[in-house]
Every structure is written in C-alpha cells, then in structure tokens.
Structure 1
Amino acid sequence: MKTIKVSVVIPLYNASTFLKETIDSVLNQSHTNIEIIIIDDHSTDDSFNKALEFQSENIIVKLNKGKGACAARNYGFELSTGDYIQFLDADDILSKDKIAKQVEALNESKTELAVCNTVHFSGRIEEGKCVDHAYVFSTSKPDELFINLWGGNNLPMHMIQTSAWLTPRTLIEKAGLWNESLAKDQDGEFFARVGLQSSGIIYVPEVINYYRKHNTGKNIASQKKEIHLDSLLKATNLKAKYLFSRTESDASKQAIATQYKHVAIDAWPQYKTIYNTAISKCEALGGSNYNPVLGGNIIELIKNTLGWRTAKLVAFYGRTFLNR
C-alpha cells in the first residue's frame, strides 16, 4: 500500500499566540507523509511573520488571494497535493495519531470521510471536555448522522467541529469547495455538502481533535450581526436542499425544522425579516421542540413561564438599557 499523503490546510488570522502549538501538533503526527499549507488572511498582528518562521520544503506559507476563512481554505486546497485533506483551524490541536488512525480507517477510500471526537478546552487541554461521542458514528448512510446532528429523532442539536474530519481530495473535487459567500456556518454547509455526497462516514474513536474556545467575557449571542444571521439562514436553506435530496423522512423534516428554529431564535427580536422567514419554514416542516438555554436564572424563568420570545425581548431591551 502506498504511503498516503495528507495536506493540512490552516487558515490563519490573528492567531499568533497559538500558532506554534498548532503547527507542532501537526509536525508531531505519527503519520509522516504530510504537507502543511498556511494561508494568512491578512492578519493585523504578527501571525504571518510567525508562520514564515516555519516555512520549509513541506510547509508552505502564503497570503490569502481573497478575503475570509473560506477563501483561505480554498486557496490552500488549490496549492495542496495530498490524497486526503485535513482542514485545521490555527488555534486548534490534533492528538498525535489523529491523522494516522483516520488514514488507516479510510484504507485508501476516495468516497468516505473519517471523523473523530472533539475535546473543547479554553485553558489546559487536560481540563477540556469531550462533547461529540453521542453524535458521531460509522455509517453507510450519511443522512442518518446529519439528521441526528441537526436535531432529528428528538435529539438535541449539535455540531462537529471542522478539524475533526479527514476528507479525500476527490470527494471535495466532486462536492465543491468552501462557499465564500457565507459569513456564518461555513463549515456546517461545507461538510453537509461533502458528507451527504459521500458513500459513508467512518468514526475513529481513539483519536482527538482539540478545539480551543476563547473566553471573551462577552455573550456571543449579543454579538451576532445581520450579515451573520442572513448567512446562517442561507446555510440552512442549503443544508435542507442537500438532505432532502437524499430523504424526506419525518426525522429529516424535524432536523431541518430545528435548524430553522435555531435561526429564528437567534434573529429575534432585532432582525424580524430573517425571523419571519425562518420561523415560517420551521412551522411548514411541522415545527420543532428546540428550546435552548438563553441566559441566567431570571431569563430562563421567564422563558419557561412566558416563552422564549418574551425572554429574548427582556434580555435584548435589558442589554439596550444597560448599554445606554
């Protein structure tokens, strides 16, 4: 069997602090036939210069031809020569055997993806928490995995982080590159499109992708802008198209309804046009029981007694008043 070559594509933007640790996790992989392609997306810190320190025969460092993480990944893919592609965020870390075990599991397949668990951490890796194991499994029916992931079969909605996957080059060429028109949920749309055109997904439980979460001190929900919510709606429309091209089961409709309700909740009350579109699509598919945590004890009490719309109104106008 030939030694499979893996291209690790790293989009880089203002991640100077974490870049060495990320690159070291690739250089320390037990699978050795690896090239690293780092595409700097016009960082405003010293990330690009830090990346240049690693440049060598097997480490390519370039400035992004376009703008945004999707464009950076696409440029990295364009420059890559590997049989398999590992997309890796510039602040995340791979366990030592991550690539080797996934290459072994794929066994030269050009039509399947490999996936592993993800540990979320914000400080020390050892203090991280694995959150994916209930949602990832091997299957020759990829729609089953995405239905569960998106909230079908009465399951909570979840996600699989970008770096958990290992993808055959030919499958990406078949499904298409990253959608550069999206500002939010780009990875969800991309891996839905690729995964639902695959012949199967292989779960490799013994290796880990470490996903770094940043404590900004701000409520992420309060930072969402209209462009992000519009993108989230567009990505959901595309995911619905991909899934329904394979199945229109009750579980698939519940999954997509949950995705639309997620958009509606995020959009309410600031962006009523997006909210109205998303909630209408959710209800047309039969509705969803999706009921996420919205805030602290008071907001949760309001949600549980008066509903999530009232709770979000109180939270929104409360923030508006406090920020005056």
Structure 2
Amino acid sequence: MTTNKVSIIIPCYNALPFIKETLDCVFNQTYKNIEVIIVDDGSTDGTLEFLKTLSSPNLIVKPNSGKGACAARNYGFKLSSGAYLQFLDADDLLSLDKIEKQVNDLDLLSNHVSVCSTAHFYHEPEHGIITDHDFLYSTESPKDFLINLYGANGKDYNMVQTSAWLTPRAVIEKAGLWDETLSKDQDGEFFCRVVVNAQGVSYQPEVKNYYRKHVAGENIANQKQRRHLESQFRAIESKLNQLKILENTVAYKNAFALQYKLLAIDAYPEFKDIYKMAITNSKALGGSSYEPVLGGNIIEIVKVTFGWKKAKIFKLFLHQIKDLIKSK
C-alpha cells in the first residue's frame, strides 16, 4: 500500500457558510495519509476565527491577508510536504474516494497528472451537472489533451476546474507556481503549464469534483471587469506559447482562434480595445465561426437577425434599463 502523503491546499476568503462541509469531505476521505493546509486571505466573516477552533494533527491554518487566491496557493505549496498536491477551493467538495483512486493511478505512472469529472451544483452536489465527459481521457500526449480541451475543432471547448486535478509535486516544481498577477483563468494558465510538463494524463472516471456555483454570479468565471479580461488575455497568451510546438497544426489554430473569439465576445461592447485585440488575434489564426448563446428568445432573435455584436449591445441596454428601474 502506498505511503505517499497528499497535501490538500485550500485558499480561503469569507467561506464560513461552506468551509465546514468542505473540511468534512476532506477529513472523511478514504485516503488517510493527508495534510490539510488552509490559507486565509483576510476573511472578515469569522472564517479564520472558526478555523482556529479546529484541532487536528494534520491541519495547518495560516493567514496571508489580502494577497489573493494564487498567493495563498503558493504559500500553501511552500508549507506542504506531500508527494501529491490537491488544490481545493473553500466552497467545493470531493467524492470521498477521489484522492485514494487518483493516488492509486499516479503511483503506477511516472510524472503523470490525474483528472476527474466535475459536477457543477448550486445547493445539492448530487444534483450537479457534468459537461466535461467528452474532453477527459487518459493519454500519453498531454499537449494534444490541452488542444482538444481548448477547442481543436473550432467550436467545442471545455475547462477543467481546479479541484479536479491531483498533481505530483515534481511536476509542479518543473512547471512553476501560480501566477499571482492573474485574476481570471489563473487555474487554466497554471494547469496548462502543469500538463505540458507532465508525461501524460490519467483520467479517473469513478470519482468526482463538485464545483459550487453561486446564484449571484460571484464565481471568478462570471466576472467581466477590465482586470479580469486583461488577465484572461494574458492567460491565453501563456497557453499559446506553452503549446507553440503545435503552432503549425490546424487543431492549434482552431483552438486559439476560438479562445480569442470567446474573449472578444466577453469584452464587447464595454471594452472595445480588448475586443479589437482579441478579434485581431483570432483572425490571424484563421478566425472562428463560433456563435455564442447570449440569452432568451428575444436576444437570440436579435442575434440571428443582426449578429452577435448587436445582440450584445441590446442585452446590455436591457440590463441598464432593469438597473435603472431597481434604483428608483
């Protein structure tokens, strides 16, 4: 039986409503050789005070106020001693045998990373929806795995959520730590480097990661501020460069033309300078015919009739009207 320790690193900020459930799923893992490192980023809701009441020989709680989730993960990594690393967000959950089965896979493979499917849920994890089956598989060609994930056919793409991975320390040390300057897609950029530096990907279909979605759209993936879009732009550039060995392939051009167009769609019309840079880069790679789904029937009719840009302007106008009505 393996004796490899797993370090579970949890960045935490104002997670008091969720952290107990997250820790229950961690300490009830069937794999027991773990250490749990929680790095609090300046919580103001009593999270840190609650964490300080917990007592366990394999629990480390440290403050790292106001430096962000990436800095918290890097600090946690420096404190860790495990052969494998599990990054886990403070409001997410893992199936109770996730770590055990992924460790069993990695113990048989040299410098591979393990991944599982993610169920997206709001309240009950058992009702979560999985959308990533077609993009996850075991392979000795990690770069091709990433290109397929990003959209090798130019239209179908997906993402792997942070907590779905289990990663050997040696692979992370080779790839480098989290980029603390990024505020969006920092996990995609980090795990691109990790997967590129691995010898292969092992997909474990029997376990799950449960990603909690928030009704108010508080997840980083839902944020559209300028700094988030600029971060997304830099993350795409990093991925593009990491996979440059494939730059002459159709799959590479399709995938990154699509990724730049997705960013252009996100940026339009509020941030037209970012839109122009992203759409120019997309066209330089051959362009993308991808058409977004923007909303309800009326928005979709506008899109079909006048194009997605006009539909986005109309959608923004409707939101502004609603906000104006609410403010009165």
For residues 217 and 201 of structure 1, what CA distance do their matches in structure 2 show? Answer: 31
- Ranges in structure 1 where 5+ consecutive residues have no aligned partner: none
8 Å contact from structure 1 (residues 14, 47) kept in 2: yes
Residues 139 and 11 (structure 1), Cα distance of their counterparts in 2 relative to 1, 3 Å cut:
same
Once the two structures are superposed, residues 204-250 of structure 1 have per-residue CA deviations (whole angstroms, 9 ceiling, x without a partner) of 00011111111117999985111111111111111111112355311
Once the two structures are superposed, residues 85-141 of structure 1 have per-residue CA deviations (whole angstroms, 9 ceiling, x without a partner) of 000000111111100100001125452100001111111122111222111000111
CA shift, 1:320, in A, is: 2.5
SS of residue matched to 1:17: coil
For residues 245 and 188 of structure 1, what CA distance do their matches in structure 2 show? Answer: 19
- % identical equivalent positions: 53
Q: Which residue of 1 aligns with 2:45?
A: 45
Q: Which residue of 1 aligns with 2:92?
A: 92
**Stretch of structure 1 that moved more, 150-159 or 265-274:** 150-159
Residues 110 and 66 (structure 1), Cα distance of their counterparts in 2 relative to 1, 3 Å cut:
farther
For residues 307 and 248 of structure 1, what CA distance do their matches in structure 2 show? Answer: 31
- Ranges in structure 2 where 5+ consecutive residues have no aligned partner: none
CA shift, 1:54, in A, is: 2.4
CA shift, 1:172, in A, is: 0.5
Aligned-residue Cα RMSD (Å) equals 1.8
Q: Which residue of 1 aligns with 2:301?
A: 301
CA shift, 1:66, in A, is: 5.8
Q: Which residue of 2 aligns with 1:188?
A: 188
Q: Which residue of 1 aligns with 2:146?
A: 146
User: What is the one-letter code of the residue matched to 2:76?
Assistant: G
User: What is the one-letter code of the residue matched to 1:141?
Assistant: S
Residues 220 and 88 (structure 1), Cα distance of their counterparts in 2 relative to 1, 3 Å cut:
closer
Once the two structures are superposed, residues 44-64 of structure 1 have per-residue CA deviations (whole angstroms, 9 ceiling, x without a partner) of 211111222224220000001
User: What is the one-letter code of the residue matched to 1:3?
Assistant: T
Normalising by structure 2, report the TM-score.
Answer: 0.94
CA shift, 1:148, in A, is: 1.6
For residues 36 and 108 of structure 2, what CA distance do their matches in structure 1 show? Answer: 20
For residues 62 and 131 of structure 1, what CA distance do their matches in structure 2 show? Answer: 35
For residues 301 and 196 of structure 1, what CA distance do their matches in structure 2 show? Answer: 42
SS of residue matched to 2:216: coil
Q: Which residue of 2 aligns with 1:59?
A: 59
8 Å contact from structure 1 (residues 189, 238) kept in 2: yes
User: What is the one-letter code of the residue matched to 1:170?
Assistant: A
For residues 264 and 93 of structure 2, what CA distance do their matches in structure 1 show? Answer: 33
8 Å contact from structure 1 (residues 267, 274) kept in 2: yes
Q: Which residue of 2 aligns with 1:276?
A: 276
Residues 139 and 10 (structure 1), Cα distance of their counterparts in 2 relative to 1, 3 Å cut:
same
Q: Which residue of 1 aligns with 2:265?
A: 265
2:221 maps to 1:199: no
Q: Which residue of 2 aligns with 1:285?
A: 285
SS of residue matched to 1:245: helix
User: What is the one-letter code of the residue matched to 1:304?
Assistant: V
Q: Which residue of 2 aligns with 1:117?
A: 117
User: What is the one-letter code of the residue matched to 1:236?
Assistant: I
Q: Which residue of 2 aligns with 1:7?
A: 7
User: What is the one-letter code of the residue matched to 1:40?
Assistant: D
8 Å contact from structure 1 (residues 66, 72) kept in 2: no
Once the two structures are superposed, residues 29-57 of structure 1 have per-residue CA deviations (whole angstroms, 9 ceiling, x without a partner) of 11110000000010121111122222422
For residues 179 and 221 of structure 2, what CA distance do their matches in structure 1 show? Answer: 23
CA shift, 1:21, in A, is: 0.7
User: What is the one-letter code of the residue matched to 2:269?
Assistant: P
